[in-house]
Amino acid sequence: MFKRLRPESTCWCGSGKEYKDCHMEFDRKVNKARREGQMIPSHLIIKTPEQIEGIRESGKLNIAILDHVAANIKAGVTTEDINRWVHDYTVAHGGIPAPLGFEGFPKSVCTSINEEVCHGIPSEEVVLKEGDIVNVDVSTILNGYYSDSSRMFIIGQTTPEKEQLVRVTKEAVEKGLAEVKPWGYLGDMSQAVNDHAKKYGYTVVEEIGGHGIGLEFHEEPFVSHVAPRGTEMLMVPGMIFTIEPMVNIGSSEFYVDEENGWTIYTADHKPSAQWEIMVLVTENGHEVLAY
């Protein structure tokens, strides 16, 4: 998993520094955790400074695309309108919509409304109406680097029940983010997310989670939002992953649309909400790269 280097060798990370002045102490810490039976990241998961800068720029475009959606979304627009906004803005700014064609996905963005948990497919026939809650999930490739984030939008005035769900889900992400720090565990983040959702009687989808990202759309590790504190992969500087809990008012059970093979619905047809951020673990804490 780790290439053995002499202290005076050039570090594996691409910094150009000698190993002893760069990642030698880092590798000692990680190998100690491995010997203690912890789940540790490989060097392939750790991004170089150059890669981080490229992913950061991709994230800036991803944020701008969602800002563009936020400025235009309202009752009466179709989810296909959102797809066009995302596609055209992405391409006009030198990017590529990552979802388009990914494993056969037919559109440039996911739009998931009310009881749709995720992977909603935009359509001219789906018109947003007063009271809907909708997740717009944008993923971008810029100069070969991937970014990914999503936001919830409330169309006009909605019910107190839906409004609280949207707010609490965002709060859960913020609670999880506060736990992202070097040499902690992904489970520290996930328990904070799950605890906050459960406080309101909500459930968090277990089988679908976040993921590593940057050089590919979906990388290791899988990021659970229900795992207990002190478990899952060790968080180390240079890791980039998404936090994106799917929080349901009712049961955490779901099913997949048999017709399109993509859209996931709550089994009890009660509302679901999701916010997604992309985060970098730094030497002193974290940096949010897309939201």
Instruction: Confirm or reject CATH 3.40.50.450 for domain 41-290, answering yes or no.
Output: no
Burial string for 173-197 (b: 16+ CB within 10 Å, else e) reads bebbbebbbbebbbbbbbbbbbebb
The DSSP-derived string for 254-285 is EEE-TTTS--EEETT---EEE-BEEEEE-SSS
What phi and psi values does residue 251 have, to the nearest 5 degrees? -70, 155
pLDDT band at residue 3 using 50, 70 and 90 as cut-offs = low
**How far is residue 84's CA from residue 70's CA, in Å, rounded to a whole number?**
14
Tell me the per-residue pLDDT of 222-268, one tens digit each, with 9 for 90 and over: 999 999 999 999 999 999 999 999 999 999 999 999 999 999 999 99
Do the strands 203-204 and 286-290 form a parallel or antiparallel pair, or are they unpaired? Answer: unpaired
pLDDT digits (tens, 9 = 90+) for 188-216: 999 999 999 999 999 999 999 999 999 99
The pLDDT assigned to 85 comes to: 98
Between CA 262 and CA 215 the distance in angstroms is: 24
Domain ranges across the chain:
41-290
Residue 50 confidence (pLDDT): 93
